[in-house]
Amino acid sequence: MLRSSLLLAALALPLTACLYSNVSAPLSYGSATPGDANGNLGAQVTGKACNVGILWLVAVGDGGYEAAVKDALSRTPAPFLVDVKADTDYENILLGLYQKQCTRVTGRVPAGGAAPSPAASGGDGKP
Amino acid sequence: MTRAAPARAMLAGLLAGLAGCAAPTFPPPQQSAYTVAQLTRDSMAYRSALPRDAPDRRVLTPVHGEACASAIFFPPSPPDPFFGSNLVEPYIPWPSFSAVFGDDGYARAVAQAMRDMPDARLIDVRADVRTTSVLGIWVRGCVVVHGMAAR
Nearest residue to A115 (alpha-carbon basis) of A72, A77, A85, A83: A77
Domain residue spans of chain A: 17-111
User: What confidence tier does B81 reach under pLDDT thresholds 50, 70, 90?
Assistant: very low
Pair B144, B126: CB distance under 8 Å: no
A24 and B144 within 8 Å at the Cβ level: the answer is yes
Q: Does A35 touch chain B (CB under 8 A)?
A: yes
pLDDT in tens, chain A (127 residues): 566 655 555 555 444 446 888 999 999 999 998 888 888 888 999 999 999 988 878 889 999 999 999 999 998 888 899 999 999 998 888 877 888 999 999 999 988 655 554 544 433 433 3
Q: What is the pTM of this model?
A: 0.75
Between B48, B81, B148, which is nearest A80 by CB?
Answer: B148
Place B68 in a pLDDT band, splitting at 50, 70 and 90: very high
pLDDT of B84 reads 42
Which is more confidently placed, A60 or B1? A60
- Average pLDDT score over residue span B85-106: 76
Lowest mean pLDDT among A49-53, B27-31, B108-112: B27-31
Q: Does A126 touch chain B (CB under 8 A)?
A: yes
Report the number of distinct structural domains present in chain B.
Answer: 1
CA-CA distance, B17 to A101, in Å (whole number)? Answer: 21
A32 secondary structure, DSSP code: B
Q: Which residues pair with A97 in a beta bridge?
A: none
Nearest CB partner across the interface for A127, out of B60, B113, B124: B113
Tell me if the bond preceding A14 is cis, omega within 30° of 0: no
- Total length of chain B: 151
Task: Please indicate whether, in this complex, the C-beta atoms of A59 and B82 are within 8 angstroms of each other.
Answer: yes
**Using CB atoms, which residue from A8, A22, A30 is nearest to B48?**
A30
Which residues lie across from B130 on neighbouring strands?
A: A24, B142
Q: A24: alpha, beta or left, given left = phi > 0 and alpha = psi -120 to 50? A: beta
* CB-based contact A63:A87 (threshold 8 Å): no
Reported ipTM: the value is 0.73
A-to-B residue pairs, Cβ atoms closer than 8 angstroms: 233
Tell which residue, B46, B44, B54, has the closest CA to residue B148: B54
Whole-angstrom distance, CA of residue B124 vs CA of residue A72: 14
Residue B115, sorted as left (phi over 0), alpha (psi -120 to 50) or beta, turns out to be alpha
Beta bridge partners of A60: A22, A52
Give the model's pLDDT for residue B123. Answer: 92
Among residues A85, A106, A35, which one has the least CA distance to residue B51? A35
**Residue B80: DSSP 8-state:** P
Q: What are phi and psi of A79, to 5 degrees?
A: -80, -25
The beta strands (E) that lie in B43-120 are given as 60-74, 97-104
pLDDT at B18: 41
Residues of B in contact with A24 (CB under 8 A): 128-131, 144
Count of beta carbons in the 10 Å neighbourhood of residue B72: 15
Which residue in B78, B83, B128 is closest to A101 by CB distance? B83
Q: Which residues pair with B35 in a beta bridge?
A: B98
Contacts of A29 in chain B (CB under 8 A): 125-127
Q: Are B54 and B73 in contact (CB under 8 A)?
A: no
Which residue range forms the structural domain that includes residue B63? 4-150
